[in-house]
Structure 1
Amino acid sequence: MAEFRLETPRLLMRSWRDEDLAPFHAICSDPEVMATLGPVMSRDEVAALIERMRGIEAEHGHCFWALVLRQTDQLIGWCGVIRGSAGPVEGKAEFGWRIARAAWGQGYVTEAARAAIDWFLVHHDDPSVWAITTVGNRRSRAVMERLGMQYRPDLDFDHPRLAADDPLSPHVTYELPRRDWSPA
C-alpha cells in the first residue's frame, strides 16, 4: 500500500514509519502528555501501538496517522480517525490526537483534525464524526469545541478498559454531524 499523505499549511499526516518509534516513544513516555491519556508507555508498548495503527490503516485506509511538521519533518504526535472500539463510539468514526508537550498551544491539533475530518467526510459516508476523552481533559475538549463538535452528556460513559476507580475512567463524548461540518 502506498504511504498515506495529508498536508496542511504547517503539517503532514502520513503513514507510520519505523523511524517514528523513538520520537513517538518520547511523547508517550512524557508524564504530562499522558496525564489525561493513561500511564506512560514503554518502548515496546509504543512499538505495539504503532503496529496496531499500521494494521488499522491496512484494513480501513485510515488510522491515527503520524503527525509531522512539514518545515522540519519532525514527528510531533498523531492525529486521525479509527473505528471506535469503546462505549458510544464503538464502530463509529472516532477522531483522536496526541501531541508532544513542546507543540502544545500552537493550533497544530485543530489544524490537523480539521484536515482529517475534511478528508474523512469526502471519502466516507458516515452521518457523524465523533471524539471521546476523559472528563478532565480540558485541552482536547477545547479542540473538539473549536472543531464544532457538540458535547453529548447523554453519552457520558466509564471506559470499559479502565478500572472503575481509575480517575481516567469517566469519559465524555462529542459528535459532529456531517450536516454541521464546514470544510476548511
Structure 2
Amino acid sequence: MIETARLILRPFRDADRDAFAALNGDPRVSDWLGGPIDRRASDAALDRVTSHIAEHGFGFWAAERKADARLIGMIGLMRLQADLPPSPAVEIGWRLSPDAWGQGFASEGGAAALAWGFEHLDIDEIIAITAVDNRRSQRVMQRIGMVEQPGRAFDHPHLPVDHPLRRHVLYAAGRACA
C-alpha cells in the first residue's frame, strides 16, 4: 500500500468491481484506450491486474480517495506486455474517473508510484506510453519528472494501421531522476 496526502494506492478488492466497470465503461475515460468495455471485459482486466500484483508484488493499484474512501481509478506500475516494442520494461500508468480529473490526483499518485518503483524494484528506468494526441496524460508524465524519448516512439501493434491512436509516444524516468 502507498499513501499520499490525498490517496491510498492499494490492491483491488472484489468490492471495487462495480466502480471499476463504471470507469472502464465511460467513453470519456476509454477514448484513449480504444473504447469502452463491458462488465465481463472489465472483470477480466481486473483479474489480470490482481494476478500481476500477486505474481510481481506490484501493479496497477486501486486509487482510493482518502476524503471519502471512494475508488477513483487506478495508478501504478506494470511489467509491459512482451509483444509491445518497448518491452521488456516497467510501465507507469493511471486511469481516473472524470470527476477526479484536473485535481492533481494522477500526478500525486504517479509521483508516489514512480518513487516506490525505484525504491523497491531493481530497475534503472520506468516508462510511460500513450497515444501521440493524449496531451493530458503527457502533461502528467512531465509533471512527475518523465522525459519524452522521441527516438522510442512506436506504432501500437494491437491497433489497426489506420487507427487514430496507433502512434504512441514514450516517456521515461531514470533512477537518477527519482
Is TM more than 0.5 here?
A: yes
For 1:46 and 1:141, the matched residues in 2 are separated by 25
Q: Does 1:117 align with 2:114?
A: yes
Q: Does 1:77 align with 2:77?
A: no
Q: Is the 8 A contact 2:86 2:152 kept in 1?
A: no
TM-score normalized by the length of structure 2: 0.96
> Which residue of the other structure, out of 38, 44, 64, is the alignment partner of 2:40?
44
1:18 counterpart residue number: 14
For 2:5 and 2:103, the matched residues in 1 are separated by 13
**Residues 175, 88 of structure 1: alpha-carbon distance in 2 compared, 3 angstrom cutoff:** farther
Equivalences for residues 143-182 of structure 1 within 5 A: 143-181=140-178
Q: Secondary structure at the match of 1:41?
A: coil
Q: Secondary structure at the match of 1:71?
A: coil
> Which residue of the other structure, out of 21, 29, 33, is the alignment partner of 1:33?
29
User: Aligned pairs, how many?
Assistant: 177
Over the residues paired in the alignment, what is the CA RMSD in angstroms?
1.0
TM-score normalized by the length of structure 1: 0.93
Task: Name structure 2 gaps, 5 residues minimum.
Answer: none
The offset of 1:180, in angstroms, is 1.8
The offset of 1:125, in angstroms, is 1.9
Q: Secondary structure at the match of 1:89?
A: coil
Letter in 2 for 1:137: N
> Which residue of the other structure, out of 93, 98, 104, is the alignment partner of 1:96?
93
The offset of 1:163, in angstroms, is 1.0
> Which residue of the other structure, out of 104, 107, 116, is the alignment partner of 2:104?
107
For 1:20 and 1:130, the matched residues in 2 are separated by 27
Q: Does 1:139 align with 2:155?
A: no
For 1:156 and 1:35, the matched residues in 2 are separated by 20
List per-residue Cα deviations over 1:150-177 (Å, max 9, x = no partner): 1011011111111111111110000111
